[in-house]
Structure 1
Amino acid sequence: MATQDSPDTIFYKSLDRFKIGLTDREREDFELTSLDEVHTVVLEIQNEQASERKMQDMTRRQSFLEGMEQYSNVIEVFLDVSMFVAFVWGPVKFLLQVAKTWTDSLDLLLNAYEQVGETIPQLLQYDKLFSQNTAMQRVLGLIYQDILEFHRRALFVFKRRSWKRIFHSTWKTFNTHFSRLLQNLHRHKIDIERQASLIEIEQSQAQRESQEKNSLLKKNSKGRGRQSRSLRRSPLQILI
């Protein structure tokens, strides 16, 4: 039976595979990108659109960014988080900067981010469980793997020469794979919620058993105390 990769191995392997498709310049740019830079790009796009009177709903990317920010806070318990999440923020920044040049592409990209964001669970409520449970850490690794795959395929669309001319055909191909990625991410969300529920039930049961054990020990201790006091009574007290 094949052994499962450890959580950190999943992260490292996923990132190594993703880097293969990047140029040296892209690797350098991505590894230095922060969430603040992504927010700056979003603000720039909003200002440009306002001046050109062609506003789009940029809030569609918010669920993704908030979900991934929670994600980074959770994985920092067992990983060098900055190195891994930089390769999430880097592609987001790049894709938004390219897609903003055409309304159709920006609209579809924002829709995609919105759909991904909806599949990312609210992770901070489980942060203590992630620090203690390897199985849940592995699911975090699989989420990272799928997010990188999403970006790998999106980059393939937007990095091509004359990408606008063939955009709708390449995006159609992208969507075929994107649907499967969404299914994967949805399964990961369910796995995390189910695993968290099982762990909480087990912890609650263990706590209840511990309380019952302590209660029984106290009861037995009181009984032994009464018996000991009875044995220490003097013969005169006994006769009386």
Structure 2
Amino acid sequence: MPHHLTAGARGTDSALLAVHAALRELRARLGADPEGPVDVAAAVKRTGGDEVVAEAVTRAPGQPPEASDRMRRGLVAPVGPEYPGFVSFSFIAHFTEVRVEPVTRRIRVSRMVSVADGGRVAGPVAAESQVRGGVVWGIGAALREHSEADPRYGGLVDDDLADSVIPVDADVGTIDVDFIDEPGHPLDPMGVTNLGEVALVGVAPAIANAVFHATGRRVRRLPIRIEDVL
């Protein structure tokens, strides 16, 4: 399987396509039913061998055979996929509660609830962790992080973590994550779509809306500074 590059939220469903095909081939070699649980140890024993190996090579619609050859040589295969019958998007809703100190106007995100629809969830623990990480990243983007450019040479003054103001434990309140967890568009037999950028991009707007609700100040730039809500 020519794996997608690590961008565009395509890694999981790209890999699962080949894993799913290999598992179906394994069922066939074990003489097991196409669906349902399998006693793997007993099925392997019935074959008379010590192990059963199954392999699968998959290509997404629109990818030519050369894509597999590029993969075997360690190269990326960026062509495709093509889905002329539909488009696929994931969705997420972020609900935010902020607390603004009335005198100093310091802003804290006390609670965030994120509900995502990324098709069927392949790995619940990893998926929840990814959304939580996106929320923390979004809190930093909304209230803390800022890149200072040197006006003389154009370089970034704060170009490492030592000089960047990033969220710490005190900046992050309760984060509740949930999933619709239903098969999405027919990208693959598993019903998985993607869960990447959606975990982040809506967080800062949600915080900005909550700040507006709390203070009456509509801020349209990031990060939201104390002087923006004084």
TM-score, normalization: structure 2? 0.23
More strand by share: 2
| TM-score normalised over the length of structure 1 | 0.23
Bigger Rg over Cα: 1
From the two aligned structures, give the one with the greater helix fraction: 1
